[in-house]
Structure 1
Amino acid sequence: QNIFKILKDYHNKKFKTLYLEESILKKLLNLENLIEKTINPNTPNIITNGDVINAGVEPELDRLRDIKNIKKEEIVKLQLNYVKETQVGNLKIKFNNIHGYFIEVTNKNSSKLIESKGKIFNLIQNTMNASRFQTPELLKLTKDIQESEFLALELEQKIYKDLCKEIRSASTIISLVAKKIANIDVIANFAHISKTNNYVKPKLEEKIKIIEIVDGRHPIVEESLKKDALNFIPNNCSMDDKNSLWLMTGPNMAGKSTFLRQTAIIILMNQIGCFVPASSASLSIFDKIFTRIGASDNLAKGMSTFMMEMVETSRIINNASEASFVILDELGRGTSTQDGLAIAQSVLEYIFKRINCLTLFATHYKELCKITEHISEIKLKTLEIKRWKNEIIFLYKVVDGISEGSFGIHVAKLAGLKENLIERSREILSSPSDVNEKNFELDLDLDNPQIESKEKNEDIINFIKDLNADEISPKDALDILYTLKKNFID
């Protein structure tokens, strides 16, 4: 209610559409009061258990409930009378769903009830330790209580159904209010995250095929890095009708996939009406966003990773339009190099010549970059790196050019692969590519931790010895520390 009053004071036209008229608010408040007045806040989970309706709602319901309470008081008095008449101190009146209310005494006292002359005690059950009796008074009380409970439950269900009918009659109003509250909730959350994370308002372009993002960021990765007190490295993305396809190569772990995803996320955030994680952004409206990222399979349907890759690519080819945005990451990696390269090139050519939509196409096939010799409009992009001795430092910046390599061995080292295997991988990489018996080493001491520890220490010492402290900038020093931490500690 307070939210709608606040919105009424705003002069923004869009906010006015979220405002509720006083008459609608009044109806909802009346319905709210009716629900609170009728329904017991501590109601059981199942309506058939009763006690769903509050006291004071219906006099007849209160009377029926009182019958049970009054009769229970009579049962207490009866128990005292029976104890006095039979002189059995441990006589108890109990209840179960089979007999209703009954008298229970120990077996040794059962004869006193059977031989009693003042009252008629009918033996109904013997157990191992106790005898159970029934009297005409208890039978009547059981009947009265059960009948009042049945009538009370029946009346409760009627009151509950009438309330539900009242709510259903207001379903149109409730649906309208729910939609307005949902919109307010979304807008409020957009405003909160935009202000908290320093997002900016994007400019909407009337023309299709325009992406102009300055210092774009991945909102999820950025938030994750903040937890480790690290800063996200932003990147620009400038695409239009004459610059519609980026062919991206880059090392593993350099940030290609993050860049692809962040661009798609920024476009999506723009189209749902949220500010975007960037310094500035001008964006067209896209009819669809298509992505083919990551390796996956569908074993339940008998589809391999490559089959799923082709199915998803086929959907893109068949459904993308000039106003779509397409991301393809490592297309063709699920099959042989020759087949994968051929498929990747044919898809790339088709998207450029037939669909002609804005596309980010990431690949490990460096041979694919030769396509720019025939199609100059395709732009080659890569991720910047810095070499430091035998180490690779990722700078996570998108730049013009072609990747020097995938640096897979470097990534394997970062992942903690044994140093012996890393060295052996380098030897094999520098040797002829044909596999033969001379390429195999059978005397690798892979399980000797002392050798690995010694090699690791020597690497650190040599790394530090080669540093020239007088020529290192603060930024380079920070990069070196991160490299040491990743390679030798983590």
Structure 2
Amino acid sequence: MMAAYTPMILQYLQVKADYQDAFLFFRLGDFYEMFFDDAIKASQELEITLTSRDGGGDDRIPMCGVPYHSAPAYIEQLIEKGYKVAICEQTEDPKQAKGVVKREVVQLITPGTMMEGKGLNDKENNYIAAISIFKNNTYGFICSDITTGESRATLLSGSFEEVLNELSLSGAREVVIASDFDEELQRKMRERASLTLSFEDDTASKEAYHNLLKNVSHEMLGVTVSRLLNYLYRTQKRSLDHLQPVAPYQIHQYMKIDYFSKRNLELTETIRSKGKKGSLLWLLDETMTAMGGRLLKQWVDRPLIEKEAILRRQSLVGIFIESYFERIELRERLKEVYDLERLAGRVAFGNVNARDLMQLKRSLLQVPELKDLVGKLPGEEAAKLAGSLDPCEAITGLLERAIVDNPPLSLKDGNIIQDGYHEELDRYRDASRNGKTWIAQLERQEREKTGIKSLKIGYNRIFGYYIEVTRANLHLLQEGQYERKQTLANAERYITPELKEKETLILQAEEKSVELEYQLFAEIREQVKEYIPRLQALAKTVSELDALQCFATVSEERHYVKPEFSSDRKMIIKDGRHPVVEKVMNAQEYVPNDCDMNAEREMLLITGPNMSGKSTYMRQIALTAILAQIGCYVPASSAIMPIFDQVFTRIGAADDLISGQSTFMVEMLEARNAIVHASSDSLILFDEIGRGTSTYDGMALAQAMIEYIHDRIGSKTLFSTHYHELTVLEAELARLKNVHVSAVEQNGKVVFLHKIKEGAADKSYGIHVAELAELPSELIRRANDILVELERKDNREGQQTGKPTATAAEASEQLSFFAEHGEQKVPLKRKEKQLIDDLKDLNILELTPLQALNTLYELQKKLKA
């Protein structure tokens, strides 16, 4: 069947055979064409016209195309949808071709290898990852950003969940795996994130990138790194000189925040909008450069656990806070610094243009000022940062001499190189400029000679230079004065031998000038490429300065304080606030709260009404810990913190519809993740555990978890619940304390005070919250009636079965009431005395605890009556 196709279609099919998983953009003249299934699918995805052509077979071939000059926009649309695009270019001059013009794929563009375009977020890395599976549940993981050249790799062991967590943390859009990679694990990766999967079986390290592996000593890690590098070199087909040596890391070097906790705490994006606004990163991001923004996100994703490293950042933040005027000047200078990391990547990749190099020059011109500013700051660490600011004067000087200040976007139209940079180029330009001056003079002479004031000399690419005379003035020309070239509706165009000769000189000079300019630009680009390592080192220092000044700016503006770190398990936060909620609400409206935990007070059981702020309080504790361990100041009036190795949260409720898991199953999986992996140095936040099942099931699970964490793990734990019965655990578990979020009832309405107080709450005020939500009044009245009836029924059943009819908080209140009355601390009425005598007649010590509570509860009701 293939033999029936035309030679060009056969060529297309041969190329397409190697790129079955990509759209093949096949260059034909000024268009990229697609055929067969590619054309049908591309016409749908890009909303372009589907046509057909005769391909030599029995049927017409589906076909669609896009102009080559607008192709980047179409390619970006496909990449955003998760597709790959193979660019197939003509690799020989059509005039010299014998038969079909030679074509070959010059680059495969994928979601993980995008180098430019709107799809790249300036303040986020664009990672491509690779994963390898080894024996004994060991996995190799690497993620690389080819726009910046940075790569990080690690070995993971145990559950594949560890790999999924790293994958989610990196935000990688593409993952490279072996062709026989387990299909169930592929499914899990797709469930966790929107990913493009690519395949690479070659894991042999090549000499070409041996230097990139110099820090990788473990054989299994080397296999994984080589898999990714082989894929990149095979698909990009160009220089990747900007790739930096791979940096190995271990996950226990940083505070571990699993995927669920990161989502629940809304560290880098919110749960509802999936956007940055409303997240901790949104609050913090006062960076002035794209590089600083990316580093800030990396710091938020991976808080430190090494105390010395945290204190170093703290110290520099403190210096920037104290050096207000220097910090303001630094911010102004950083505004003028472009993305050095990605500029260096574009230089290496070969797609840098003259405007990019001007951005590089303007950025480097700021470095001496930055160096001087930072050098004036006190402290050894500031001096080190100043010493790392390399101005790269040679590049600045080269670009100053070579590139014009406002170059055009295209490299093939000339006018890029400065006059005086290259002698031969200056000669071409002189010839071209003098020729154009001569043409201007000729136009004036011919107007005077003919008396035709509207006579003009013009130029177009088809006919070259010409003399144009309108029809109304043709009678003023002498016979044979000019040679006719072209006839228009309202004018005639002519040439003269002299004009033709000058045209040849001018056009040759311009053509040679443009060719030479492009050659000179390529040479300049190669010279800049030699400085890529220095530019990347400079970018690291600038981004660190930017992230640190960002912490200082936020801390000063929002009145944060420097936290201290304890070695005796103390966590004492005074007037703590939720940083994001405080910003959204306005600082004056936010109610601050304390948190007091230590070795004898490891768990807080939090009760209180719905909407009172239990979840906000729990989140603010976790965010305070994270802020402290990324080196930022924290929202409080004072804070003493332990250094946590992990943070686990179970907050909020959501079905996982993709994997078919209910809210309760998601809740149990997240709880399991914390309980299995937490240590005594971890922080656990559990919000309303057990509410997705029946009351007794949920209460039993909640109590069992509390006891397990208390007895087996010893983590700092905040556990909020509406199961008030659990508050009796304070008497049984030595390191558990009851606290509650206070509320008062006024005129039948609940008022939330949002204040954390010692002890347990008395009730949940659920119907009051429903009333605040403006449910129909008839419904609210009915709910109150049902509640009264249920409470009465519960009381009756309790008397029959021994089931307690009072919550633990109410029982505690009742015991206190009778203790005070028994000691005659208040005047008693006759009725009260009689009831106490009745109580004395009972041998309460012979009753079970449940019966005793019920008895007290009933007696109190009589007293209140």
TM over 0.5, yes or no?
A: yes
CA 1:396–1:164 in 2, change beyond 3 Å: closer, same or farther?
A: same
Larger displacement relative to structure 2 (273-282 or 174-183):
174-183
Q: Residue 410 in 1 paired to residue 768 in 2?
A: yes
Q: Counterparts of 2:577 and 2:775 in 1: how far apart (Å)?
A: 31
Tell me if the contact between 2:710 and 2:735 (Cα under 8 Å) persists in the aligned partners.
no
Higher alpha-carbon Rg: 1
* Aligned match of 1:478: none
* Aligned match of 1:465: none
Secondary structure, counterpart of 1:405 in structure 2? coil
* Aligned match of 2:559: 198
Secondary structure, counterpart of 2:392 in structure 1? helix
Q: Residue 5 in 1 paired to residue 375 in 2?
A: no
In structure 2, which of residues 735, 752, 770 is the aligned counterpart of residue 394 of structure 1? 752
Q: Counterparts of 1:86 and 1:302 in 2: how far apart (Å)?
A: 88
* Aligned match of 1:481: none
Superposed, 1:278-357 pairs within 5 Å as: 278-297=636-655, 305-334=663-692, 340-341=698-699, 343-357=701-715
CA 1:77–1:359 in 2, change beyond 3 Å: closer, same or farther?
A: same
Once the 2 structures are TM-superposed, how far is the Cα of residue 246 of structure 1 from its aligned partner? 1.9
Q: Counterparts of 1:337 and 1:146 in 2: how far apart (Å)?
A: 88
* Aligned match of 2:403: 39
AA in 2 matched with 1:18: L
* Aligned match of 2:737: 379
The sequence identity of aligned pairs, in percent, is 37
Q: Residue 187 in 1 paired to residue 548 in 2?
A: yes
* Aligned match of 1:171: 532
Tell me if the contact between 1:38 and 1:54 (Cα under 8 Å) persists in the aligned partners.
yes
Deviations 1:344-402 (A, max 9, x none): 44544443344332121223333444555653433222101122221222121112333
* Aligned match of 1:146: 507
* Aligned match of 2:516: 155
Tell me if the contact between 1:122 and 1:135 (Cα under 8 Å) persists in the aligned partners.
no
Q: Counterparts of 1:127 and 1:330 in 2: how far apart (Å)?
A: 84
Secondary structure, counterpart of 2:459 in structure 1? strand
In structure 2, which of residues 431, 439, 444 is the aligned counterpart of residue 75 of structure 1? 439
AA in 2 matched with 1:254: S
CA 1:61–1:408 in 2, change beyond 3 Å: closer, same or farther?
A: farther
Secondary structure, counterpart of 2:561 in structure 1? coil
Tell me if the contact between 1:86 and 1:116 (Cα under 8 Å) persists in the aligned partners.
no
Secondary structure, counterpart of 2:544 in structure 1? helix
CA 1:52–1:251 in 2, change beyond 3 Å: closer, same or farther?
A: farther
Secondary structure, counterpart of 1:47 in structure 2? coil
CA 1:49–1:335 in 2, change beyond 3 Å: closer, same or farther?
A: farther
Secondary structure, counterpart of 1:328 in structure 2? strand
* Aligned match of 1:469: none
* Aligned match of 1:246: 604
* Aligned match of 1:119: 482
* Aligned match of 2:383: 16
Tell me if the contact between 2:688 and 2:720 (Cα under 8 Å) persists in the aligned partners.
yes
Larger displacement relative to structure 2 (298-307 or 322-331):
298-307
AA in 1 matched with 2:426: D
In structure 2, which of residues 428, 433, 441 is the aligned counterpart of residue 64 of structure 1? 428
Larger displacement relative to structure 2 (185-194 or 281-290):
185-194
Q: Counterparts of 2:500 and 2:708 in 1: how far apart (Å)?
A: 89
Secondary structure, counterpart of 2:586 in structure 1? helix
CA 1:135–1:326 in 2, change beyond 3 Å: closer, same or farther?
A: farther
**Superposition CA RMSD, Å:** 3.5
* Aligned match of 2:613: 255
CA 1:8–1:76 in 2, change beyond 3 Å: closer, same or farther?
A: closer
Tell me if the contact between 2:650 and 2:686 (Cα under 8 Å) persists in the aligned partners.
yes
AA in 1 matched with 2:431: I
* Aligned match of 2:322: none
Secondary structure, counterpart of 1:44 in structure 2? coil
Deviations 1:159-208 (A, max 9, x none): 3333333333333333333333333333333333333433322221235x
AA in 2 matched with 1:214: K
Segments of structure 1 that go 5 or more residues without pairing to the other structure are 435-490
Q: Residue 52 in 1 paired to residue 416 in 2?
A: yes
* Aligned match of 2:586: 226
Tell me if the contact between 1:249 and 1:403 (Cα under 8 Å) persists in the aligned partners.
yes
Once the 2 structures are TM-superposed, how far is the Cα of residue 257 of structure 1 from its aligned partner? 1.6
Tell me if the contact between 1:254 and 1:394 (Cα under 8 Å) persists in the aligned partners.
yes
Q: Counterparts of 1:128 and 1:121 in 2: how far apart (Å)?
A: 14
Secondary structure, counterpart of 1:121 in structure 2? strand
Once the 2 structures are TM-superposed, how far is the Cα of residue 4 of structure 1 from its aligned partner? 3.3
Q: Counterparts of 2:496 and 2:690 in 1: how far apart (Å)?
A: 87
* Aligned match of 2:361: none
Deviations 1:127-167 (A, max 9, x none): 55555455544544444333333322333333333333333
Superposed, 1:458-473 pairs within 5 Å as: none
Q: Counterparts of 2:420 and 2:603 in 1: how far apart (Å)?
A: 73
Q: Counterparts of 1:144 and 1:336 in 2: how far apart (Å)?
A: 92
Once the 2 structures are TM-superposed, how far is the Cα of residue 271 of structure 1 from its aligned partner? 0.9
Tell me if the contact between 1:79 and 1:92 (Cα under 8 Å) persists in the aligned partners.
yes
TM-score relative to the length of structure 1: 0.74
* Aligned match of 2:31: none
| Higher relative contact order structure (alpha carbons within 8 Å, sequence separation ≥ 6) | 1
CA 1:103–1:433 in 2, change beyond 3 Å: closer, same or farther?
A: farther
Secondary structure, counterpart of 2:627 in structure 1? helix
AA in 2 matched with 1:70: N
Q: Counterparts of 2:460 and 2:698 in 1: how far apart (Å)?
A: 76
